[in-house]
Structure 1
């Protein structure tokens, strides 16, 4: 396994990023992994390495590079209920400043950089995202319909941009929602919008889960839900990416 800290040229500077990919010397499919609002940290590096171990080049950008390199703030080892509010108080201005225009400009730069890496095979890529990163994954896939073959979002506001964005999706979609984030009625409305857009998709609520269920450094972590995340994500990548 090779891991690197990289810097991605963007319209507004350089975004620091974490990359992980196999050592076997063969080119592999690329995956752009958007972190949650807490950003690049040990748990995200661990998840990127886990995915890379299945034969993918995984690129995890610092979403808030305009404000400085990751980590943007001092994070506790475990983000529990006692610290969550204080952490979000610091992060929310950065999230609010990350406009649609900025996210789309960055997506162009991230995909251009990812596909130019010598370890990445020619062909389509996948985009995954967690929490706020799930929304960014959908935006990226919608803006690059000929390039993104799969998009996966976990406990994120994936439909927040509305049907106009969903209508531009051509990628195969998997969404996993926390029970505390999505009602069955809201899920039905999202599924209806995806159906109307002609999107091949699976979208489900994971019973008993809270927002952030994939993140082992938070109180929301659910080991069974994280395993389901892998059980759904890996087959999606395998059937949509060349060499996956």
Structure 2
């Protein structure tokens, strides 16, 4: 799939992005794919190309652009290396709900202006912290999101005032959440809290459990699970196919 390197001007600066588009004649529905805590890297671009192959124009943003020209993380050692873990969590902290929403508005405007993209509403998907971002954006920029997905997302229903479940009554998108087993960042109790909030708000939603560990969908994560990853691609194909206008 063709990929385009570009930048998007946001309220806080200039964000590098990669746009993956299908081969052939468009335009196609647009999707923002938010990477996990490791940020944009070759694996994320490869995953965007794989989603593009299903018929979508897929934007992968550098969510850490506020940190400048940051050095990539080694996902095999980042959590065991104290200094790298500290650097990672410092950068994660820079991606606040306000930043997520502000950036998303710029990304949506960028997609709407691209000749490869059709429509004014879009899909969002993400992994780990990107799954949280996907749902946060659906709640804070609801007029631009038709379908929001989260895979092994963490912090979806917590006591934090920025928890996405507190935005349920603002969400107009259909929502899909694929949770990992034994995941302290998204427990069965938190899933019930999220389910109750979305149900009370009459949000069309699905919450499913994958028999795999946190990180199952991302190839360079240690817990990557091929069967679970395939299932997640099938889920994206079906969900976006049902909710994004072609």
Q: What is the TM-score with the length of structure 2 in the denominator? A: 0.91
Distance 1:99 1:75, change over 3 A: closer
Whether the 8 Å CA contact 2:132–2:164 is kept in 1: the answer is no
The equivalent position to 1:176 in structure 2, one of 171, 174, 178, is 178
Q: Distance in 1 between matches of 2:34 and 2:24?
A: 25
The equivalent position to 2:228 in structure 1, one of 218, 225, 228, is 225
1:153 paired with 2:150, answer yes
The equivalent position to 2:193 in structure 1, one of 189, 192, 198, is 189
1:66-81 matched pairs, under 5 angstroms: 66-69=66-69, 72-76=70-74, 79-80=75-76
Whether the 8 Å CA contact 2:30–2:123 is kept in 1: the answer is yes
Quote the offset at 1:162 in angstroms: 4.9
Whether the 8 Å CA contact 1:155–1:176 is kept in 2: the answer is yes
Quote the offset at 1:41 in angstroms: 1.1
Distance 1:91 1:171, change over 3 A: same
Q: 1:235 — aligned with what?
A: 238
Whether the 8 Å CA contact 1:123–1:242 is kept in 2: the answer is no
Q: Distance in 2 between matches of 1:171 and 1:23?
A: 28
Quote the offset at 1:6 in angstroms: 0.8
Whether the 8 Å CA contact 1:36–1:130 is kept in 2: the answer is yes
Whether the 8 Å CA contact 2:157–2:190 is kept in 1: the answer is no
The equivalent position to 2:216 in structure 1, one of 210, 213, 221, is 213
Q: 2:169 — aligned with what?
A: 167
Q: 1:129 — aligned with what?
A: 126
Q: Which runs of 4+ in 1 moved over 3 A?
A: none
The equivalent position to 1:96 in structure 2, one of 88, 93, 96, is 93
Quote the offset at 1:222 in angstroms: 0.7
Q: 2:7 — aligned with what?
A: 7
Q: Distance in 2 between matches of 1:60 and 1:155?
A: 18
Q: 2:21 — aligned with what?
A: 21
* Equivalent residue pairs, number: 237
RMSD of equivalent CA atoms? 1.5
Unaligned 5+ segments in structure 2 are none
Whether the 8 Å CA contact 2:157–2:191 is kept in 1: the answer is no
